[in-house]
Structure 1
């Protein structure tokens, strides 16, 4: 199953490690984990903390089961290839966004145009500005793709190309 929540990408894998390390070793309910991320990793609010938990579970560094979320002891955040594989396979539009890139710099709206048909009808019906909303979600995915080494942000522009 692919997951949709994607928090804003930090500037480094070390920051991802800080969030991962704030997650308990023994599974705890989501509310407890969110509180820990806010207190120990400086995550700004509960909604963002929840997105981090879902996302880190999708890329394979957390376990998500009936007991809650927990850190996987056998997986760190230093393996970009493993993180990238989890991102492509388990994050909604993760692989599609990367596949939409080529050697020509593209803005998030261009990448959104390439994947827009995959946004489910119920997501489109939720809001009047669904295109702008999902363009923002595509941009977050591009930022993560760049962090995981699958994309490159072009200088100081909002453009990306395939790595």
Structure 2
């Protein structure tokens, strides 16, 4: 199953490790985990913490069972994280595939993947294009962090 929530990408994988380290080793309910992530990892609010939980589970850095989360003990490398990102995060692979050697803005990439946004997502908000352009930009930022893309002064390009 692919996951949609994607928190803003941090500056480094060390920051990802800090958020992951805030999770318990023994599964705890989502609310408890969100509190831990906010208080221990400096995540600004519960909504962002919840997005982190879902995202960490998608890339294999946390486990989720019946609404409870725990950090995993495996330490996947950057390539494994990149593979999990493309496989388990909604629109991640399409976002990466939309890149080329020519720099593109998040809006340019969104235009290439917009048809993949489910109809019900489009119907639930008036500003769905802006909302999903931001979601594409977050995916692009994570793609850079995982080595799947590069940021230039003119936009995003495919990684070498």
The answer to whether the 8 Å contact 2:144/2:151 transfers is yes
Aligned residues: 159
Instruction: Answer whether contact 1:27 1:67 (CA < 8 A) is retained.
Output: no
TM-score by length of structure 1 reads 0.95
Matched residue SS, 2:63: strand
Aligned residue in 2 for 1:122: 120
Shift of 1:66: 2.2
Residue in 2 aligned with 1:153?
151
Residue number in structure 1 paired with 2:158:
162
Contact 1:10 1:16 in 2 (8 A): yes
Could you tell me how far apart the structure 2 residues matched to 1:80 and 1:95 are? 16
Structure 1 gap ranges (5+)? none
Q: State how far apart, in whole Å, the 2-side matches of 1:139 and 1:108 are.
A: 5
Output the CA distance in 2 between the equivalents of 1:10 and 1:39: 17
1:109-139 deviation line (CA, Å, top 9, x unaligned): 1100000000000000011111111001000
CA distance, structure 2, for counterparts of residue 130 and residue 67 of structure 1:
27
Where has structure 1 moved over 3 Å in runs of 4 or more? Answer: none
Q: Which runs of 5+ in 2 are unaligned?
A: none
Aligned to 2:80: 82
- 1:67 CA displacement: 6.2
TM-score normalized by structure 2? Answer: 0.97
Partner of 1:132: 130
The 5 Å alignment of 1:1-163 reads 1-66=1-66, 68-76=68-76, 79-155=77-153, 157=154, 159-163=155-159
- Aligned-residue RMSD, C-alpha: 0.9
